[in-house]
Structure 1
Amino acid sequence: MISFKDLNGLEVDLSFGHSDFTIPARHVLVVLKKDDKWLLTRHSLRGIEFPGGKVEDAETLEEAAIRETIEETGVTLTAVRKIAEYVVHDTVPFCKAVFTGRVLGMDSQFEKRETEGIVWMTDDELNHCNTLSFHMKDAGMAAIRKWVTEHEK
């Protein structure tokens, strides 16, 4: 388990593999790399970030990861799998499940609804991006990116 403070000063616990947490995940994050580029989206308020969001009623975590990726980027995934979970110890703590997968297809007619669209970035571009969302800059995100790079070749 990795513990760190996010940029808002909140304690965060990150676990790879099986869940070590008693709080059930109700949020998802999708971290995907294809052809040495990361799949990202541009949020109008927060900036560049990985796709993700809340799990809807009667939806599994995997279904939410697939749906959120399509809604935010127009990318359809296959071989989706959970790689980690993290808990943010906010006033009301919450748990987010982290997924990865492979690109099955991209909608060429994708309509920007929830975000300002898709962004593909290399490691270097991501490391030097000055418009990243705050949560893309913490130690947990660095650990997640490292895990995906090492395990998803």
Structure 2
Amino acid sequence: MFTYTDLNGNGCELSFKKNAFSIEPKHVLVLAKYEGKWLLTDHPKRGYEFPGGKVEKGETIEEAAIREVFEETGATIGSIEWLATYMVQEQMPFTKAVFTAKVEMIDRNHPNVETRGVILMSEEELLANEHLSFYMKDLGMKKILEKVSEREDKWEN
């Protein structure tokens, strides 16, 4: 278990073991690559971030991840794999499931309602970008990216 404080001042716990928390995840976050670049979305208020969101009624956590990626970027996921779960200790604590995914295609004409659309970044661009969302800059994301880099062979396109 990795414990940290996010940039909003909330205590967080990150686990790479399934079912580590008693609270079922109702939020998703997806780290995906397309043609060797990270798939991000441009949120109008928060900045560049990995796609994600809330699980809707009747949806599995995986279905929510696939839907959120498509809604926010126009990207279709070919494969998805659970990576981690983290809990945010707000007044009402919640957990978020983190997935890795491989993108099959991106519909560049996809109408983006929630975001400003898809952004593709190299590893170097991601690490140096000043317009990242707050959660993209915290210690939890750094630890998640380290874990993903350990599995880098799965990202080869």
Q: TM-score range by the shorter chain?
A: over 0.9
SS in 1 for 2:26: strand
Which residue identity is paired with 2:95? C
**TM alignment of 1:81-120, pairs within 5 A:** 81-120=81-120
Q: Which is worse superposed, 38-47 or 109-118? A: 109-118
Distance, in Å, in 2 between the alignment partners of 1:32 and 1:17 is: 20
Distance, in Å, in 2 between the alignment partners of 1:54 and 1:152 is: 27
**Correspondence for 1:121:** 121
Which residue identity is paired with 1:92? M
**Correspondence for 2:144:** 144
Q: Which is worse superposed, 33-42 or 85-94? A: 33-42
Q: Which is worse superposed, 21-30 or 122-131? A: 122-131
Report percent identity of matched pairs. Answer: 49
Distance, in Å, in 1 between the alignment partners of 2:116 and 2:34 is: 20
Gaps of 5+ in 1: none
Q: Report the number of matched residues.
A: 153
Alpha carbons 2:86, 2:95 under 8 Å: kept: yes
Alpha carbons 2:29, 2:53 under 8 Å: kept: yes
Query: C-alpha offsets along residues 116-143 of structure 1, whole Å, 9 cap, x if unaligned?
Result: 0111111211111111100100111011
**Correspondence for 1:39:** 39
Distance, in Å, in 1 between the alignment partners of 2:70 and 2:34 is: 16
Deviation at 1:15, TM superposition (A): 0.4
Q: Return the TM-score normalized by structure 2.
A: 0.93
Q: CA RMSD in A?
A: 1.1
Distance, in Å, in 2 between the alignment partners of 1:9 and 1:109 is: 38
Which residue identity is paired with 1:42? D
Distance, in Å, in 2 between the alignment partners of 1:139 and 1:28 is: 18
Distance, in Å, in 2 between the alignment partners of 1:2 and 1:138 is: 12
Deviation at 1:17, TM superposition (A): 3.0
Distance, in Å, in 1 between the alignment partners of 2:47 and 2:14 is: 23
